[in-house]
Amino acid sequence: MIQVTVYKTARHEYVGFHITGHAGYDEAGRDIVCSAVSALVFNAVNSIEHFTDDESSCVSDEEAGEMEFRFRSRPSHDASLLLDSMILGLESIEDSGEYDPYIDIIFKEVQVP
């Protein structure tokens, strides 16, 4: 199962996430749930880095299926929108009847540096 922890502030601003695990929907290379989650996550991170000036930290281990992403300060409007879009896509996967057993999303309140 893929586990996603989305970090948010007391003001409900998303400021990062931690993702770990593999879906286990199908064998490696054929797992459409892992592929969908990877596409959403990598596109969001790459878009934030390419289209915004926000400073962030991103550490990943593809073999372990793990990624930790955090903004170094409050995210800009554009960066927030990109992260919101990623979370919407992940929630759509989780809310579907067929793929729900393969992804779990939780929200954790954190302090912004």
Kindly list the domain boundaries of the chain, sorted by start residue.
2-109
The pTM (predicted TM-score) of the whole model is 0.92
User: What are the residue numbers of the active site?
Assistant: 22, 34
Helix (H, G, I), strand (E, B) or coil at 4: strand
**pLDDT tens digits, 9-60:** 999 999 999 999 999 999 988 999 999 999 999 999 999 999 999 999 999 9
Please name which of 5, 2, 3 lies closest in space to residue 17, comparing C-alpha atoms.
5
- At residue 72, what are phi and psi to the nearest 5 degrees? -80, -20
Which CATH architecture best describes the domain 2-109?
A: 2-Layer Sandwich (3.30)
